[in-house]
Amino acid sequence: MSDERIPETWNGAAPQATPQTVHMSHGSGGRLMHTLITSLFQSHFANPFLDALDDGAVLPALPGRLAFTTDSYVVDPIFFPGGNIGDLAVNGTVNDLCMCGAVPLYLSAGFILEEGLALTDLEEIVASMAEAAKKAGVHIVTGDTKVVEKGKADRLFINTAGIGTIAVQHPMGSRHLQPGDAVLLSGPVGDHGIAVLSQRKNLGFSSSITSDTAALNELTAALYKTRGEAVHAMRDPTRGGLAAVLNEFAGASAVSIQLEETAIPVRPEVRTACELLGLDPLYIANEGKMVVIVAEPASMEALDILRQHPLGREAEYIGRVCSGNPGLVSMHTELGGWRIIDQPMGELLPRIC
């Protein structure tokens, strides 16, 4: 970041009054954008790598293989119980890096702002991003701002991309499930989706549920450290929920997965809201939970590691990877039968993240 002031008075004009909402000029590459960058983004994201005056950040050499990921966030509404689009955008990308077996290090932030967005809302969101980044131990090092006319976006969209260094040396991911593996879940499902839905004007239900948005980097670091080689895959069940993740895993590894319904933690308020809305908690988005596929001999130790961290205190052993029926996810129900857990088909919950 440059300390030199850009002279404000070369053209002799009086300084303009600061607008209270986002104007088209905030995206023009000119003075108003420069002010937005220095007074808002640089002041909140301040770190030695951020240099909004050049075209990108220069980062020190990183050892070993890298993880690289991106996500755009379009959640509606942008503020919801337990968080906002800003901390969601940081935690979501941090978690994607963690799920690749990486230690998250650097994020980019790309903002698409709708003309008319209140600058106080933008500042609150940027402050949340800065706080979430600090908590997760990452730096927001490069960014971009675009403004579109009123009616051409929905207040604010954020893209974050992230870089991390791979911390595990063995092959890991959706293709590496093995029959016999244990399926662990770090906590109750459905909180984020229900928290966002409770704010939708047309649904009209109230709920005490708050989003579970959180960075999982400490949880994954603890797992890598102690039982890294036993972890075959990890994934945070966001869009499409637990059902989508397990279907992808089962398909990619050509295995089947059997779940035990009574073992899957769901908060009573989430269960009630789901019954009210005709939804299934297994298909609802989470933003601070993870599925861990771990070799059976290490399963109890891995579960203990999860439970020792505040974000994994309610972790459970929810199922097992089996051979045969490649791609099939089924659940042994509370009533003693079996239910097929299919991949989500239509759009259950638009713009949940």
Residues 84-103 that bind its own copies (CB under 8 A): 95-97, 99-102
- Is residue 172 within 8 A of residue 229, CB to CB? The reply is no
Among 190, 240, 281, 312, binds its own copies (CB under 8 A): 240
Q: Does 254 bind its own copies (CB under 8 A)?
A: yes
What is the number of other CB atoms lying within 10 angstroms of the CB of residue 234? Answer: 27
DSSP state of 6: P
Residue 203 binds its own copies, judged by CB under 8 A = no
In the complex, the smallest distance separating the C-beta of residue 282 from its own copies, rounded to whole angstroms, is: 12
Interacting residues with its own copies between 43 and 62 (CB under 8 A):
51, 53-62
27 touches its own copies (CB under 8 A): yes
Name residues contacting its own copies, limited to 158-177 (CB under 8 A).
159, 161-163, 166, 173-175
Please name the residues in contact with 336: beta carbons below 8 A apart, sequence gap of 6 or more: none
CB of 178 to its own copies, least distance (A): 14
Beta-bridged to residue 156, according to DSSP, are: 113
User: Which residues does 251 contact at the CB level (< 8 Å), separation at least 6?
Assistant: 326, 327
Judged by CB under 8 A, does residue 272 bind its own copies? no
Buried b (16+ CB within 10 A) or exposed e, 297-333: ebbeebbebbeebebbeebbbbbbbbeeeebbbbbbe
Taking CB under 8 A as the rule, does residue 63 contact its own copies?
Answer: yes
* Closer residue to its own copies (CB): 308 or 323: 323
Whether residue 237 contacts residue 293, with contact meaning beta carbons closer than 8 Å, is answered with no
- CB neighbours of 28 closer than 8 A, spacing ≥ 6? 147
Question: Binders of its own copies among 283-322, rule CB under 8 A?
Answer: 285
Strands 231-235 and 316-322 turn out to be unpaired
In angstroms, give the least distance from the CB of 300 to its own copies.
Answer: 26
CA dihedral over 147, 149, 151, 152, signed as positive or negative: negative
Of residues 205-234, which lie at the interface with its own copies (CB under 8 A)?
Answer: none
Rounded least distance, CB 326 to its own copies, Å: 7
Residue of 42, 84, 91, 108 that binds its own copies (CB under 8 A): 108
Single residue of 18, 120, 149, 179 touching its own copies by CB under 8 A: 149
Binding of its own copies by 17 (CB under 8 A)? no
